[in-house]
A and B are shown apart, each in its own frame.
Chain A
Amino acid sequence: MGSSVSRLLRGPAVLYLPAALFLLVFFLVPLFNVAWMSFTEPDTGFGNYTAFFASSFDVGVLLNTFKTAAIVTLTSLIFAYPVAYVAARYGGALGSILLLVVTLSFWTSFLVRTYAWMVILGVKGPVTAALIMLGWSPPPQILFTTFASTFAMTHLLMPFMILTLYAVMRRIDGTYMRAAAGLGAKPLKAFTSIYLPLSLPGIANGSVLVFITCLGFYVTPVLLGSPRDKMIAGRIGDEIEQMLNFGGASAMAIVLLVATLGLFALYSRFFGLDKLWR
């Protein structure tokens, strides 16, 4: 055994060691701690979990979180795909500018961008002014609606989707499309039968990335959404900061984690998780 360990230490596997150690200390240990607390605080047992599932309010917040994440993922995919497509396929100055604009938004914090949307969508903001000019009277309320928070979250998460799609699309060989055209395929047919399938790994990667990031959103729905738009991260925060209910909050976090993993399992069953890494 000693020799196999020393062989392992000389092999390339040793390169994984720092990362594994990091994950163990900063991820697995705290996660285990959270799971432990969910079963032991304040009493030992399943109390925190039964309380969670008995509360139609908490379950509703969880479902709303998943629904919001799904909508945001879908809309950001719809908006991001053309941008990534143009940047990857035509490249050049236009592609560079597009990518620069996308990357720029990484330099501004989520919170600042959320506040910016408050100004833009507000009653004195340009959007309402434009609607009034177009003769919409009285103008609809945009700010403090589910639409506003979904819209802003889509904007915040789109860069992740665009860059992920771009990374995959950049590798798609342009000659395939020309070959398809040469064989008589109309542009749409060539796109759906060649380009779209080849970009699927990008779609899968981007969707998973956006979906998971969105599950943890907290402040954007609070600042822009309707009072009913509560996300589970906000509930966990309230439970800890206001109620000091570490056990209950841990249980919620574990439920969220298990639900997410469950969704992954489903995804893997139908689409194959290995697509993510290809």
Chain B
Amino acid sequence: MTKSDIRGVCSPEQAVSARAGKVSRRSFLATAAAGAALSMPTVRRAVAEEKVLYVNTWGGAWEESAKDALFTPFTRDTGIEIRTVAPVSFAKLAAQVRTGVYEFDVTTLGVAELGRANQAKLIAAPEKSILDPAKLWPGAVVLDGVASHAFGNVMAYRNEKFPAPGLQSWADFWDTQKFPGSRCLQRYAGRVIPIALLADGVAPDKLFPLDLDRAFKSLDKIKPHIRVWWSQGPQSQQLLRDGEVDAIGMWNTQVQRLVEAKAPITVSWNQAVVDVAYWAVARGTPRSENAWRFVNYAVQPEPLAKFSVKNDYGPMNPEAFKFIPEDKAKQLPTWPENFKNSIVLDPAKMLPQIDEFSKRFDQWIAS
């Protein structure tokens, strides 16, 4: 660089940074601040009984409603301040326990992640004095995760392509002879494999353990008709809205926005594959007492109802439906009418196969 200075020719770094100078300086400051924030919890460990809790959130609409329904009321009642860290990162949870530096104390995990986190000893068992599983509803605590809210992987399609009665089941979704058109599914093994088995005629109660050979044979059949595998929530919405694909398996929370916008689409709740978000507390965090108080608060009927409704999640605590008007409740995955035709993913049953099917799916998709 000294040479270039002498000759007066600008190096690429200089050319770029001259234009992006402000940004890189600001991002440096942000990095430095993040670094400082990262080390803060350890420094604060010495201070007894601190009134603060760090929650890992999904940001955006999720965080907005969590703030309204959960964080603000909790702070008001307990005096414990909640600071958020976004986005949710499973890898960070693992890194925290490994390094002993805690950026967040509480996070949410899906079914597949919960199994893995429990296996890798990343999350703590409930403090029974604060959150007693026996005092919640049956099945509230699984593998040390506390069930919070559910989202359905439902089938949706364009009306002009498949007029009534349209697609009724995943078998119909797979039947491209009878229902020709493009398809789309999420690039996520834990949800797609159960769907593939249902499409192949496996009874919902016979799903586990997953018959992987049969699942991949079934997936081979649909593969040529899948135009794209979606990976981001908003992307799935855009694909269906713009008619980029004719039929898609996507989250009920995302498709609900299209229903509200009166898009010409139909949503089928039949055979919805329901995934559950669990609250989990990072193992070894110095603020575990506050963390469990918060988790206990977050699954109480009233705050949970308020939180779930905003994003069209299904509350896992059945009592929450007492606080939800019926016409709204009918659109939620855990509403008894919807729930009884759904298949709920079970972390304990999926755990033994997770590594195998994730790897196999990744390679299958790229082949």
Query: Which positions in A face B, CB cutoff 8 Å?
Result: 26, 57, 60-61, 103, 106, 115, 118-119, 122-124, 141, 143-144, 160, 163-164, 166-168, 170-171, 201, 205-206, 208-209, 222-223, 227-228, 230, 238, 240-244, 246, 276-278
Q: Are B228 and A227 in contact (CB under 8 A)?
A: yes
Q: Are B9 and A278 in contact (CB under 8 A)?
A: yes
Of B91, B116, B242, B365, most A-chain CB atoms within 10 Å: B91
Give the size of the chain B interface in residues (CB under 8 angstroms).
Answer: 42
What is the distance, in angstroms, from A136's C-beta to the closest C-beta of chain B? 18
Q: Are A240 and B229 in contact (CB under 8 A)?
A: no
Interfacial residues of chain B within 161-203, with CB under 8 A of chain A in the complex: 187
Q: Are A228 and B89 in contact (CB under 8 A)?
A: no
What is the distance, in angstroms, from A139's C-beta to the closest C-beta of chain B? 13
Interfacial residues of chain B within 313-330, with CB under 8 A of chain A in the complex: none
Q: What CA separation (Å) do A174 and B191 show in the bound complex?
A: 63
- Is B127 at the interface (CB under 8 A from chain A)? no
Q: Which of A144, A208, A230 contacts B228 (CB 8 A)?
A: A144
Q: Are B15 and A167 in contact (CB under 8 A)?
A: yes
- Is B358 at the interface (CB under 8 A from chain A)? yes
Please encode chain B, from 7 to 29, with 1 for each CB lying within 8 Å of some chain A CB and 0 for all others: 11111101110011000000000
Q: Are B243 and A123 in contact (CB under 8 A)?
A: yes
Q: Which of B3, B94, B231 contacts A246 (CB 8 A)?
A: B94
Q: Are B4 and A143 in contact (CB under 8 A)?
A: no
Q: What CA separation (Å) do A243 and B187 show in the bound complex?
A: 15
Please encode chain B, from 207 to 229, with 1 for each CB lying within 8 Å of some chain A CB and 0 for all others: 00000000000000000001111
- Is B50 at the interface (CB under 8 A from chain A)? no
Q: What CA separation (Å) do A170 and B10 show in the bound complex?
A: 10
What is the distance, in angstroms, from B248's C-beta to the closest C-beta of chain A? 14
Q: Which of A115, A118, A201, A208 contacts B9 (CB 8 A)?
A: A201
A residues near B231, Cβ cutoff 8 Å: 222-223
Q: What CA separation (Å) do A115 and B4 show in the bound complex?
A: 38
Q: Are B7 and A106 in contact (CB under 8 A)?
A: no
Please encode chain B, from 344 to 367, with 1 for each CB lying within 8 Å of some chain A CB and 0 for all others: 000000000001001100110111
Q: Are A163 and B16 in contact (CB under 8 A)?
A: yes
B residues near A223, Cβ cutoff 8 Å: 231-232, 235
Q: Which of A57, A124, A168, A240 contacts B91 (CB 8 A)?
A: A240
Q: Are A241 and B12 in contact (CB under 8 A)?
A: no
> B355's closest neighbor in chain A, by CB?
A243
Q: What CA separation (Å) do A93 and B1 show in the bound complex?
A: 31
Of A124, A163, A208, A242, most B-chain CB atoms within 10 Å: A242
Q: Which of B12, B359, B367 contacts A209 (CB 8 A)?
A: B12
B residues near A60, Cβ cutoff 8 Å: 366
Q: Which of A122, A143, A205, A227 contacts B12 (CB 8 A)?
A: A205
What is the distance, in angstroms, from A174's C-beta to the closest C-beta of chain B? 16
B residues near A242, Cβ cutoff 8 Å: 90, 112, 358
What is the distance, in angstroms, from A215's C-beta to the closest C-beta of chain B? 16
Q: Which of B90, B235, B242, B366 contacts A244 (CB 8 A)?
A: B90
Q: What CA separation (Å) do A57 and B242 show in the bound complex?
A: 33
Q: Are B242 and A124 in contact (CB under 8 A)?
A: yes
Listed by A's residue number, 29 A-B pairs whose Cβ atoms lie within 8 Å are A57-B362, A57-B367, A61-B366, A106-B20, A124-B242, A124-B244, A160-B12, A160-B16, A167-B14, A171-B8, A205-B11, A209-B12, A209-B16, A222-B187, A222-B231, A223-B231, A223-B235, A228-B366, A240-B91, A242-B112, A243-B355, A243-B358, A244-B91, A244-B116, A246-B94, A276-B11, A277-B3, A278-B3, A278-B4
